[in-house]
Protein backbone atom coordinates (compact mmCIF):
# COMPACT_ATOMS: atom_id res chain seq x y z
CA UNK A 1 0.00 0.00 0.00
CA UNK A 2 1.20 3.49 -0.76
CA UNK A 3 2.33 5.53 2.17
CA UNK A 4 1.08 9.04 2.99
CA UNK A 5 4.30 10.84 2.04
CA UNK A 6 4.96 13.72 -0.28
CA UNK A 7 7.82 16.07 -0.78
CA UNK A 8 6.79 19.55 0.32
CA UNK A 9 6.75 21.09 -2.97
CA UNK A 10 1.83 22.57 -5.89
CA UNK A 11 -1.45 22.29 -8.46
CA UNK A 12 -2.25 24.62 -11.36
CA UNK A 13 -4.02 22.89 -13.97
CA UNK A 14 -3.09 19.45 -12.73
CA UNK A 15 0.03 18.07 -14.43
CA UNK A 16 0.63 14.37 -13.88
CA UNK A 17 3.39 13.10 -16.14
CA UNK A 18 2.26 10.23 -18.32
CA UNK A 19 4.44 7.31 -19.32
CA UNK A 20 5.88 8.64 -22.56
CA UNK A 21 8.94 6.81 -23.92
CA UNK A 22 10.94 9.98 -24.49
CA UNK A 23 13.99 11.55 -22.92
CA UNK A 24 13.34 14.92 -21.30
CA UNK A 25 15.38 17.53 -19.50
CA UNK A 26 15.11 21.07 -18.23
CA UNK A 27 17.63 23.86 -18.64
CA UNK A 28 18.33 26.57 -16.10
CA UNK A 29 19.48 30.18 -15.82
CA UNK A 30 22.86 31.87 -15.79
CA UNK A 31 24.28 32.86 -12.40
CA UNK A 32 24.09 36.46 -11.24
CA UNK A 33 27.09 38.66 -11.93
CA UNK A 34 29.53 38.18 -14.77
CA UNK A 35 31.48 34.91 -14.71
CA UNK A 36 34.86 35.07 -16.41
CA UNK A 37 34.63 34.20 -20.12
CA UNK A 38 30.83 34.30 -19.91
CA UNK A 39 30.51 34.17 -23.71
CA UNK A 40 32.30 30.82 -23.64
CA UNK A 41 29.81 29.21 -21.27
CA UNK A 42 26.61 27.29 -21.78
CA UNK A 43 23.86 25.91 -19.57
CA UNK A 44 23.57 22.15 -19.25
CA UNK A 45 20.45 20.08 -18.70
CA UNK A 46 18.81 18.32 -15.76
CA UNK A 47 17.16 15.05 -16.78
CA UNK A 48 13.77 14.31 -15.32
CA UNK A 49 14.06 11.28 -13.08
CA UNK A 50 17.58 12.22 -11.94
CA UNK A 51 18.42 14.09 -8.73
CA UNK A 52 21.94 15.31 -7.97
CA UNK A 53 22.95 16.41 -4.49
CA UNK A 54 26.34 18.13 -4.07
CA UNK A 55 28.28 18.38 -0.81
CA UNK A 56 31.24 20.50 0.26
CA UNK A 57 33.39 19.16 3.12
CA UNK A 58 36.19 20.75 5.14
CA UNK A 59 38.41 20.29 8.17
CA UNK A 60 38.66 23.70 9.89
CA UNK A 61 36.50 26.09 7.84
CA UNK A 62 34.81 26.07 4.44
CA UNK A 63 37.16 28.71 3.06
CA UNK A 64 40.42 27.40 4.55
CA UNK A 65 43.03 25.96 2.18
CA UNK A 66 42.90 22.18 1.80
CA UNK A 67 46.63 21.99 1.07
CA UNK A 68 47.67 22.19 4.68
CA UNK A 69 46.41 19.69 7.23
CA UNK A 70 45.65 21.19 10.64
CA UNK A 71 47.14 19.59 13.75
CA UNK A 72 45.38 16.33 14.47
CA UNK A 73 43.45 16.64 11.22
CA UNK A 74 41.83 13.27 11.84
CA UNK A 75 39.79 14.89 14.64
CA UNK A 76 38.82 18.02 12.71
CA UNK A 77 35.62 18.92 10.81
CA UNK A 78 34.24 16.19 8.57
CA UNK A 79 36.83 13.71 9.94
CA UNK A 80 35.88 14.03 13.58
CA UNK A 81 34.86 10.66 15.06
CA UNK A 82 34.75 8.98 11.64
CA UNK A 83 36.89 6.28 10.04
CA UNK A 84 36.75 7.56 6.46
CA UNK A 85 39.24 10.43 6.29
CA UNK A 86 39.83 13.49 4.10
CA UNK A 87 43.29 15.07 4.14
CA UNK A 88 46.24 16.44 2.23
CA UNK A 89 48.59 13.62 1.27
CA UNK A 90 46.64 11.16 3.35
CA UNK A 91 47.15 8.39 0.83
CA UNK A 92 50.95 8.46 1.29
CA UNK A 93 51.02 8.94 5.06
CA UNK A 94 53.01 6.37 7.05
CA UNK A 95 50.67 6.68 10.03
CA UNK A 96 48.27 3.80 10.32
CA UNK A 97 44.94 5.38 9.53
CA UNK A 98 43.67 2.18 7.92
CA UNK A 99 44.19 0.70 4.47
CA UNK A 100 40.95 2.28 3.28
CA UNK A 101 42.59 5.72 3.64
CA UNK A 102 45.72 4.77 1.67
CA UNK A 103 46.38 5.48 -2.00
CA UNK A 104 46.36 2.30 -4.08
CA UNK A 105 49.16 3.83 -6.27
CA UNK A 106 47.35 3.01 -9.55
CA UNK A 107 43.85 2.71 -11.02
CA UNK A 108 43.02 -0.32 -8.86
CA UNK A 109 40.11 0.41 -6.52
CA UNK A 110 40.09 -0.64 -2.90
CA UNK A 111 36.97 -2.75 -2.82
CA UNK A 112 35.00 -3.71 0.24
CA UNK A 113 35.07 -0.36 2.04
CA UNK A 114 31.27 -0.35 2.05
CA UNK A 115 28.77 -3.16 2.55
CA UNK A 116 26.92 -4.78 -0.34
CA UNK A 117 23.59 -3.11 0.53
CA UNK A 118 22.45 0.39 1.38
CA UNK A 119 21.02 1.00 4.83
CA UNK A 120 17.30 1.46 5.48
CA UNK A 121 17.59 5.18 4.68
CA UNK A 122 19.33 4.59 1.35
CA UNK A 123 22.98 5.34 2.20
CA UNK A 124 26.19 3.25 2.04
CA UNK A 125 27.42 1.58 5.21
CA UNK A 126 31.09 1.06 6.10
CA UNK A 127 32.31 -2.51 6.13
CA UNK A 128 35.58 -2.04 8.03
CA UNK A 129 37.31 -3.95 10.77
CA UNK A 130 39.13 -1.35 12.87
CA UNK A 131 41.72 -2.78 15.21
CA UNK A 132 45.13 -1.64 16.33
CA UNK A 133 45.11 1.58 14.32
CA UNK A 134 45.64 5.24 15.10
CA UNK A 135 41.90 5.74 14.81
CA UNK A 136 40.81 2.94 17.14
CA UNK A 137 37.38 3.30 18.65
CA UNK A 138 35.69 4.70 15.54
CA UNK A 139 32.72 2.90 14.11
CA UNK A 140 33.79 0.72 11.20
CA UNK A 141 30.19 -0.13 10.36
CA UNK A 142 28.60 3.31 10.49
CA UNK A 143 26.31 4.71 7.82
CA UNK A 144 27.71 7.31 5.44
CA UNK A 145 24.50 9.28 5.86
CA UNK A 146 26.61 11.88 7.70
CA UNK A 147 28.24 12.54 4.31
CA UNK A 148 25.34 12.06 1.88
CA UNK A 149 22.08 12.79 3.72
CA UNK A 150 21.10 16.40 2.87
CA UNK A 151 18.88 16.59 5.95
CA UNK A 152 21.66 15.61 8.33
CA UNK A 153 23.84 18.49 9.49
CA UNK A 154 27.47 17.89 10.40
CA UNK A 155 30.47 19.97 11.37
CA UNK A 156 32.49 20.41 8.20
CA UNK A 157 29.68 19.92 5.68
CA UNK A 158 27.60 22.15 3.39
CA UNK A 159 24.65 20.78 1.40
CA UNK A 160 23.45 21.81 -2.08
CA UNK A 161 20.35 19.79 -2.79
CA UNK A 162 18.90 18.95 -6.22
CA UNK A 163 21.54 20.91 -8.14
CA UNK A 164 20.89 21.53 -11.83
CA UNK A 165 22.49 21.58 -15.26
CA UNK A 166 25.64 19.50 -14.86
CA UNK A 167 24.89 17.23 -17.81
CA UNK A 168 24.68 17.52 -21.58
CA UNK A 169 22.53 15.52 -23.98
CA UNK A 170 23.55 14.45 -27.48
CA UNK A 171 21.55 13.53 -30.58
CA UNK A 172 21.62 9.85 -29.63
CA UNK A 173 19.97 10.46 -26.26
CA UNK A 174 23.05 10.04 -24.05
CA UNK A 175 23.41 12.24 -20.98
CA UNK A 176 27.02 12.95 -20.14
CA UNK A 177 29.64 15.06 -18.44
CA UNK A 178 33.41 14.87 -19.00
CA UNK A 179 35.83 17.09 -17.11
CA UNK A 180 38.41 16.54 -19.86
CA UNK A 181 36.06 18.31 -22.31
CA UNK A 182 34.22 20.94 -20.25
CA UNK A 183 35.04 22.65 -16.99
CA UNK A 184 32.04 22.82 -14.63
CA UNK A 185 31.49 25.51 -11.99
CA UNK A 186 28.74 25.32 -9.36
CA UNK A 187 26.98 28.59 -8.47
CA UNK A 188 25.09 28.68 -5.20
CA UNK A 189 22.79 31.58 -6.16
CA UNK A 190 21.19 29.53 -8.95
CA UNK A 191 21.84 26.12 -7.37
CA UNK A 192 23.20 25.04 -10.74
CA UNK A 193 26.32 24.40 -12.77
CA UNK A 194 27.68 26.50 -15.60
CA UNK A 195 29.68 24.65 -18.24
CA UNK A 196 32.64 26.00 -20.23
CA UNK A 197 33.49 25.11 -23.81
CA UNK A 198 36.92 23.77 -22.78
CA UNK A 199 38.32 21.95 -19.74
CA UNK A 200 40.07 23.62 -16.83
CA UNK A 201 42.96 23.08 -14.37
CA UNK A 202 46.14 21.12 -15.08
CA UNK A 203 46.83 17.73 -13.58
CA UNK A 204 48.95 17.53 -10.44
CA UNK A 205 49.58 13.79 -10.43
CA UNK A 206 51.66 11.77 -12.87
CA UNK A 207 48.89 9.60 -14.36
CA UNK A 208 46.01 12.06 -14.63
CA UNK A 209 45.00 13.98 -17.77
CA UNK A 210 44.54 17.74 -17.80
CA UNK A 211 40.95 18.84 -17.29
CA UNK A 212 39.84 18.48 -13.68
CA UNK A 213 36.53 18.45 -11.81
CA UNK A 214 36.56 21.04 -9.05
CA UNK A 215 32.98 22.37 -8.88
CA UNK A 216 33.66 24.96 -6.17
CA UNK A 217 36.47 26.73 -8.03
CA UNK A 218 35.33 29.40 -10.50
CA UNK A 219 37.24 30.26 -13.66
CA UNK A 220 39.63 33.17 -13.13
CA UNK A 221 39.83 36.11 -15.56
CA UNK A 222 42.69 35.99 -18.08
CA UNK A 223 43.33 32.35 -17.22
CA UNK A 224 42.67 30.70 -20.60
CA UNK A 225 45.60 29.30 -22.55
CA UNK A 226 46.02 26.47 -25.07
CA UNK A 227 42.54 25.02 -24.61
CA UNK A 228 42.52 25.15 -20.81
CA UNK A 229 40.85 27.50 -18.32
CA UNK A 230 42.67 28.24 -15.04
CA UNK A 231 45.69 27.13 -17.05
CA UNK A 232 48.16 28.40 -14.46
CA UNK A 233 46.58 26.28 -11.77
CA UNK A 234 47.25 22.61 -11.02
CA UNK A 235 45.18 20.22 -8.94
CA UNK A 236 47.56 20.72 -5.99
CA UNK A 237 47.23 24.51 -6.00
CA UNK A 238 46.49 25.93 -2.56
CA UNK A 239 43.29 27.62 -3.76
CA UNK A 240 41.65 24.38 -4.93
CA UNK A 241 38.63 23.19 -2.94
CA UNK A 242 39.27 19.45 -2.86
CA UNK A 243 36.93 17.77 -0.42
CA UNK A 244 33.45 17.20 -1.83
CA UNK A 245 30.87 14.54 -2.59
CA UNK A 246 28.10 13.81 -5.10
CA UNK A 247 25.03 11.61 -4.79
CA UNK A 248 23.14 11.11 -8.03
CA UNK A 249 19.94 9.08 -7.97
CA UNK A 250 18.25 8.01 -11.22
CA UNK A 251 14.91 6.21 -11.56
CA UNK A 252 14.64 4.13 -14.70
CA UNK A 253 12.62 1.42 -16.41
CA UNK A 254 14.05 -1.66 -18.14
CA UNK A 255 12.52 -2.22 -21.58
CA UNK A 256 13.28 -4.02 -24.86
CA UNK A 257 15.73 -6.40 -23.23
CA UNK A 258 17.97 -3.52 -22.15
CA UNK A 259 17.97 -1.67 -25.48
CA UNK A 260 16.65 1.80 -26.24
CA UNK A 261 13.92 0.49 -28.59
CA UNK A 262 12.60 -2.70 -30.18
CA UNK A 263 15.17 -2.59 -33.00
CA UNK A 264 17.72 -3.59 -30.34
CA UNK A 265 20.56 -1.67 -31.96
CA UNK A 266 21.55 0.58 -29.07
CA UNK A 267 22.06 -0.93 -25.61
CA UNK A 268 21.32 0.95 -22.41
CA UNK A 269 24.63 1.72 -20.69
CA UNK A 270 25.98 3.47 -17.61
CA UNK A 271 29.65 4.48 -17.66
CA UNK A 272 31.95 6.36 -15.30
CA UNK A 273 35.65 7.12 -15.04
CA UNK A 274 37.41 9.15 -12.37
CA UNK A 275 38.61 9.20 -8.77
CA UNK A 276 38.33 8.81 -5.72
CA UNK A 277 35.62 6.63 -4.12
CA UNK A 278 32.73 5.67 -6.39
CA UNK A 279 30.00 3.21 -5.51
CA UNK A 280 27.06 2.34 -7.75
CA UNK A 281 23.99 0.68 -6.27
CA UNK A 282 20.89 -0.53 -8.09
CA UNK A 283 17.81 -1.11 -5.96
CA UNK A 284 20.03 -0.80 -2.90
CA UNK A 285 22.50 -3.50 -4.00
CA UNK A 286 26.16 -2.72 -4.74
CA UNK A 287 26.87 -3.54 -8.40
CA UNK A 288 30.11 -1.59 -9.06
CA UNK A 289 32.80 -0.83 -6.48
CA UNK A 290 35.48 1.78 -7.22
CA UNK A 291 36.11 2.60 -3.58
CA UNK A 292 39.31 4.00 -2.17
CA UNK A 293 41.85 6.66 -3.07
CA UNK A 294 43.12 5.68 -6.52
CA UNK A 295 44.13 6.99 -9.92
CA UNK A 296 41.61 7.40 -12.72
CA UNK A 297 39.51 4.21 -12.76
CA UNK A 298 36.50 3.21 -14.84
CA UNK A 299 33.32 1.18 -14.70
CA UNK A 300 30.67 0.28 -17.24
CA UNK A 301 27.31 -1.47 -16.97
CA UNK A 302 25.56 -2.88 -20.04
CA UNK A 303 21.84 -3.39 -19.38
CA UNK A 304 21.36 -5.52 -22.50
CA UNK A 305 23.97 -8.15 -21.62
CA UNK A 306 24.23 -7.55 -17.89
CA UNK A 307 27.99 -7.23 -18.26
CA UNK A 308 29.83 -5.15 -15.65
CA UNK A 309 33.41 -4.05 -16.33
CA UNK A 310 35.88 -2.49 -13.90
CA UNK A 311 38.90 -0.88 -15.57
CA UNK A 312 37.92 -2.76 -18.73
CA UNK A 313 37.93 -6.18 -17.04
CA UNK A 314 34.70 -8.17 -17.20
CA UNK A 315 33.42 -9.08 -13.75
CA UNK A 316 32.41 -12.64 -12.99
CA UNK A 317 28.79 -11.99 -12.06
CA UNK A 318 26.20 -10.40 -14.36
CA UNK A 319 23.88 -7.61 -13.26
CA UNK A 320 20.70 -9.71 -13.18
CA UNK A 321 22.31 -12.38 -11.01
CA UNK A 322 23.65 -9.81 -8.55
CA UNK A 323 20.13 -8.45 -8.10
CA UNK A 324 18.61 -11.90 -7.68
CA UNK A 325 16.99 -12.40 -11.10
CA UNK A 326 17.15 -15.61 -13.13
CA UNK A 327 18.63 -13.95 -16.22
CA UNK A 328 21.82 -12.01 -16.86
CA UNK A 329 20.06 -8.67 -16.91
CA UNK A 330 16.89 -7.05 -15.57
CA UNK A 331 13.42 -8.27 -16.60
CA UNK A 332 11.46 -6.07 -19.00
CA UNK A 333 8.88 -3.63 -17.66
CA UNK A 334 10.51 -3.45 -14.23
CA UNK A 335 11.30 -0.20 -12.41
CA UNK A 336 14.58 0.48 -10.65
CA UNK A 337 16.69 3.13 -8.93
CA UNK A 338 20.41 3.64 -9.57
CA UNK A 339 22.34 5.45 -6.84
CA UNK A 340 25.80 6.85 -7.62
CA UNK A 341 27.95 7.95 -4.66
CA UNK A 342 31.19 9.84 -5.32
CA UNK A 343 33.83 11.28 -2.96
CA UNK A 344 36.92 13.38 -3.62
CA UNK A 345 39.13 13.12 -0.51
CA UNK A 346 42.72 12.49 -1.66
CA UNK A 347 43.71 16.12 -2.33
CA UNK A 348 45.41 15.68 -5.69
CA UNK A 349 43.66 15.08 -9.02
CA UNK A 350 39.90 15.02 -9.50
CA UNK A 351 38.58 13.56 -12.74
CA UNK A 352 35.00 12.78 -13.63
CA UNK A 353 33.45 11.39 -16.79
CA UNK A 354 29.88 10.12 -16.79
CA UNK A 355 27.68 8.84 -19.60
CA UNK A 356 24.33 7.04 -19.60
CA UNK A 357 21.10 6.60 -21.53
CA UNK A 358 18.82 5.05 -18.93
CA UNK A 359 15.11 5.23 -19.77
CA UNK A 360 13.69 7.51 -17.11
CA UNK A 361 10.49 6.91 -15.14
CA UNK A 362 8.35 10.06 -15.37
CA UNK A 363 7.23 11.53 -12.08
CA UNK A 364 3.80 12.73 -11.07
CA UNK A 365 3.79 16.46 -10.43
CA UNK A 366 0.91 18.57 -9.16
CA UNK A 367 0.97 22.33 -9.72
CA UNK A 368 -1.40 24.98 -8.42
CA UNK A 369 -1.51 28.49 -9.89
CA UNK A 370 -3.92 31.40 -9.93
CA UNK A 371 -5.69 32.86 -12.97
CA UNK A 372 -2.57 34.85 -13.85
CA UNK A 373 -0.31 31.82 -13.82
CA UNK A 374 1.33 32.74 -10.51
CA UNK A 375 2.11 29.85 -8.12
CA UNK A 376 0.03 29.41 -4.99
CA UNK A 377 2.23 28.13 -2.15
CA UNK A 378 1.01 26.76 1.18
CA UNK A 379 -2.01 24.85 -0.22
CA UNK A 380 -2.72 21.50 1.39
CA UNK A 381 -3.82 18.56 -0.76
CA UNK A 382 -4.80 14.93 -0.38
CA UNK A 383 -4.72 12.28 -3.09
CA UNK A 384 -7.39 9.72 -2.23
CA UNK A 385 -8.63 6.46 -3.63
CA UNK A 386 -12.09 6.92 -5.20
CA UNK A 387 -15.01 4.80 -3.97
CA UNK A 388 -18.38 4.41 -5.70
CA UNK A 389 -21.30 4.91 -3.30
CA UNK A 390 -24.94 5.27 -4.36
CA UNK A 391 -23.89 5.97 -7.93
CA UNK A 392 -21.43 8.72 -6.96
CA UNK A 393 -17.69 8.75 -6.48
CA UNK A 394 -16.53 9.82 -3.03
CA UNK A 395 -13.10 10.22 -1.50
CA UNK A 396 -11.84 7.09 0.23
CA UNK A 397 -8.46 6.05 1.60
CA UNK A 398 -5.70 8.68 1.59
CA UNK A 399 -2.81 7.61 -0.64
CA UNK A 400 -0.64 10.73 -0.34
CA UNK A 401 -0.80 14.26 1.03
CA UNK A 402 1.29 17.40 1.00
CA UNK A 403 1.60 21.16 0.83
CA UNK A 404 2.54 23.26 -2.18
CA UNK A 405 5.96 24.88 -2.05
CA UNK A 406 7.10 28.32 -3.24
CA UNK A 407 6.81 27.14 -6.86
CA UNK A 408 3.29 25.84 -6.30
CA UNK A 409 4.33 22.18 -6.65
CA UNK A 410 3.76 18.91 -4.82
CA UNK A 411 5.83 15.88 -5.74
CA UNK A 412 4.19 12.63 -4.63
CA UNK A 413 6.38 9.92 -3.08
CA UNK A 414 5.67 6.27 -2.42
CA UNK A 415 6.50 4.37 0.77
CA UNK A 416 10.09 3.85 -0.38
CA UNK A 417 10.62 7.57 -0.84
CA UNK A 418 10.63 7.17 -4.65
CA UNK A 419 8.53 9.38 -6.88
CA UNK A 420 4.98 8.15 -7.22
CA UNK A 421 4.46 7.46 -10.92
CA UNK A 422 1.27 6.88 -12.84
CA UNK A 423 2.35 3.30 -13.47
CA UNK A 424 2.74 2.64 -9.73
CA UNK A 425 -0.69 4.11 -9.03
CA UNK A 426 -2.19 2.06 -11.85
CA UNK A 427 -0.59 -1.18 -10.65
CA UNK A 428 -1.81 -0.53 -7.11
CA UNK A 429 -5.41 0.21 -8.06
CA UNK A 430 -5.83 -2.01 -11.15
CA UNK A 431 -7.54 -4.96 -9.37
CA UNK A 432 -10.49 -2.71 -8.46
CA UNK A 433 -10.74 -0.79 -11.73
CA UNK A 434 -13.25 -1.10 -14.52
CA UNK A 435 -12.86 0.54 -17.93
CA UNK A 436 -12.42 4.31 -17.57
CA UNK A 437 -13.85 4.50 -14.06
CA UNK A 438 -12.83 7.23 -11.65
CA UNK A 439 -9.89 5.89 -9.68
CA UNK A 440 -8.51 8.86 -7.74
CA UNK A 441 -9.74 12.05 -6.15
CA UNK A 442 -7.46 15.03 -5.61
CA UNK A 443 -8.82 17.24 -2.85
CA UNK A 444 -7.62 20.56 -1.53
CA UNK A 445 -7.97 20.68 2.24
CA UNK A 446 -8.05 23.67 4.58
CA UNK A 447 -9.57 27.10 4.02
CA UNK A 448 -7.26 29.73 2.52
CA UNK A 449 -7.85 33.21 3.97
CA UNK A 450 -6.68 35.22 0.93
CA UNK A 451 -9.93 35.20 -1.00
CA UNK A 452 -9.05 32.14 -3.07
CA UNK A 453 -11.76 29.47 -3.30
CA UNK A 454 -11.04 25.77 -3.82
CA UNK A 455 -12.39 24.37 -7.09
CA UNK A 456 -13.58 21.18 -5.43
CA UNK A 457 -12.62 17.54 -5.83
CA UNK A 458 -10.85 16.65 -9.05
CA UNK A 459 -11.82 13.20 -10.33
CA UNK A 460 -9.10 11.29 -12.16
CA UNK A 461 -9.25 8.12 -14.23
CA UNK A 462 -6.80 5.90 -16.06
CA UNK A 463 -6.96 5.50 -19.81
CA UNK A 464 -5.22 2.64 -21.57
CA UNK A 465 -6.07 1.97 -25.25
CA UNK A 466 -7.77 -1.42 -25.60
CA UNK A 467 -5.77 -2.03 -28.76
CA UNK A 468 -2.54 -1.73 -26.75
CA UNK A 469 -3.07 -3.51 -23.43
CA UNK A 470 0.65 -3.40 -22.63
CA UNK A 471 1.10 0.32 -23.24
CA UNK A 472 1.58 2.66 -20.25
CA UNK A 473 -1.62 4.23 -18.90
CA UNK A 474 -2.56 7.90 -19.05
CA UNK A 475 -4.13 9.69 -16.11
CA UNK A 476 -6.91 12.04 -17.23
CA UNK A 477 -9.37 14.34 -15.46
CA UNK A 478 -13.06 13.52 -15.67
CA UNK A 479 -14.60 16.74 -14.35
CA UNK A 480 -12.15 19.38 -15.60
CA UNK A 481 -14.97 21.54 -17.00
CA UNK A 482 -16.44 21.84 -13.50
CA UNK A 483 -13.16 22.29 -11.60
CA UNK A 484 -10.93 24.12 -14.07
CA UNK A 485 -8.12 21.66 -13.30
CA UNK A 486 -6.77 19.31 -15.93
CA UNK A 487 -4.50 16.25 -16.02
CA UNK A 488 -2.14 16.21 -18.98
CA UNK A 489 1.03 14.50 -20.14
CA UNK A 490 4.13 16.66 -19.87
CA UNK A 491 7.02 16.73 -22.30
CA UNK A 492 10.08 18.95 -22.21
CA UNK A 493 12.19 19.18 -25.36
CA UNK A 494 15.91 19.88 -25.32
CA UNK A 495 18.44 20.89 -27.94
CA UNK A 496 22.19 20.92 -28.21
CA UNK A 497 24.12 24.17 -27.95
CA UNK A 498 24.58 24.32 -31.74
CA UNK A 499 21.55 23.98 -34.02
CA UNK A 500 21.25 23.49 -37.75
CA UNK A 501 18.46 25.03 -39.79
CA UNK A 502 17.70 26.15 -43.34
CA UNK A 503 17.42 29.85 -44.16
CA UNK A 504 15.44 29.13 -47.31
CA UNK A 505 18.41 28.21 -49.46
CA UNK A 506 21.34 27.00 -47.40
CA UNK A 507 21.90 25.05 -44.22
CA UNK A 508 23.07 27.27 -41.37
CA UNK A 509 24.69 26.37 -38.05
CA UNK A 510 24.14 28.69 -35.10
CA UNK A 511 24.31 28.76 -31.33
CA UNK A 512 20.80 28.24 -29.97
CA UNK A 513 19.41 31.46 -28.53
CA UNK A 514 15.95 31.19 -26.87
CA UNK A 515 15.29 34.89 -27.52
CA UNK A 516 15.78 34.61 -31.28
CA UNK A 517 14.97 30.97 -32.03
CA UNK A 518 11.81 28.94 -31.66
CA UNK A 519 11.91 25.18 -31.11
CA UNK A 520 9.01 22.85 -31.84
CA UNK A 521 8.71 19.29 -30.55
CA UNK A 522 6.60 16.66 -32.31
CA UNK A 523 5.81 13.40 -30.55
CA UNK A 524 5.93 10.34 -32.82
CA UNK A 525 4.36 6.91 -32.33
CA UNK A 526 5.38 3.72 -34.08
CA UNK A 527 2.43 2.32 -36.07
CA UNK A 528 2.86 -0.83 -38.12
CA UNK A 529 6.62 -0.36 -38.24
CA UNK A 530 6.52 3.34 -39.21
CA UNK A 531 6.94 6.42 -37.02
CA UNK A 532 3.96 8.78 -37.35
CA UNK A 533 3.31 12.13 -35.61
CA UNK A 534 0.69 12.28 -32.88
CA UNK A 535 -1.92 15.03 -32.85
CA UNK A 536 -5.23 15.80 -31.20
CA UNK A 537 -6.56 15.66 -27.65
CA UNK A 538 -5.12 13.37 -24.96
CA UNK A 539 -8.66 12.31 -24.09
CA UNK A 540 -10.08 9.13 -25.66
CA UNK A 541 -12.35 9.50 -28.67
CA UNK A 542 -16.08 9.70 -28.04
CA UNK A 543 -18.62 7.05 -29.07
Three-state SS letters, 132-179: CCCCCCCCCCCECHHHHCCCCCCCCEEEECCCECCEEECCCCCEEEEC
pLDDT of residue 2: 35
Distance CA 500, CA 27 (A): 19
Which residues fall within 8 angstroms of residue 303, CB to CB, at 6 or more apart? 254, 258, 267, 268, 269, 270, 319, 329, 330, 358
**Which residues share a beta bridge with 499?**
510
Distance CA 69, CA 92 (A): 13
**Residue 352 burial by Cβ neighbours in a 10 Å radius (0-12, 13-18, 19+):** buried
Distance CA 462, CA 538 (A): 12
CA distances from 411 to 8, 113, 333 (A): 7, 34, 23
Q: What is the DSSP letter of 462?
A: E
pLDDT of residue 419: 62
pLDDT of residue 144: 98
Cα–Cα nearest to 2, from 424, 337, 333:
424
pLDDT of residue 270: 97
pLDDT of residue 26: 40
CA distances from 213 to 73, 93, 120, 286 (A): 24, 24, 31, 25
pLDDT of residue 426: 82
Cβ-contact 243, 63 below 8 angstroms: no
pLDDT of residue 543: 41
**Residue 88 burial by Cβ neighbours in a 10 Å radius (0-12, 13-18, 19+):** buried
Percent of the chain scored above 70 by pLDDT? Answer: 83
Query: pLDDT tens for residues 265-293?
Result: 999 999 999 988 999 999 999 999 999 99
The low-confidence residues of the chain, meaning pLDDT below 70, are 1-30, 32, 94, 206, 361-365, 406-407, 411-419, 435-436, 447-454, 464-472, 488-497, 514-515, 526, 535-543
Q: What is the DSSP letter of 237?
A: -
Q: Answer positive or negative: Cα dihedral of 168, 424, 247, 406.
A: positive
CA distances from 2 to 134, 232, 418, 419 (A): 47, 55, 11, 11
pLDDT of residue 518: 75
pLDDT of residue 497: 67
Distance CA 412, CA 361 (A): 14
Amino acid sequence: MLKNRVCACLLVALLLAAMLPVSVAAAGALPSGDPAYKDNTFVGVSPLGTTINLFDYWLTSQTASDRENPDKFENQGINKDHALLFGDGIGDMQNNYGDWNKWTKDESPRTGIVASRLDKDGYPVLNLTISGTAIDGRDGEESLAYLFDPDRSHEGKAVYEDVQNLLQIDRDGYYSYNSQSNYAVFYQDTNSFLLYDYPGVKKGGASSPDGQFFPFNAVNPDSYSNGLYNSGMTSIDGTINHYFGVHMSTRFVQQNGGYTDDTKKTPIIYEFSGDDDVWVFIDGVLVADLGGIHDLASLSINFATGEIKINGALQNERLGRILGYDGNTLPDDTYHTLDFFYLERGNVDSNMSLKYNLVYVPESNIYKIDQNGEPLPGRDFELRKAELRDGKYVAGEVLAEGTTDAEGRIILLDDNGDLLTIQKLFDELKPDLKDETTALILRETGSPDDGYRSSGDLELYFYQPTSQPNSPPFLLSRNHWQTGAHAVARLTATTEETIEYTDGKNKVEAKFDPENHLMFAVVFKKVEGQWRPISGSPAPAGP
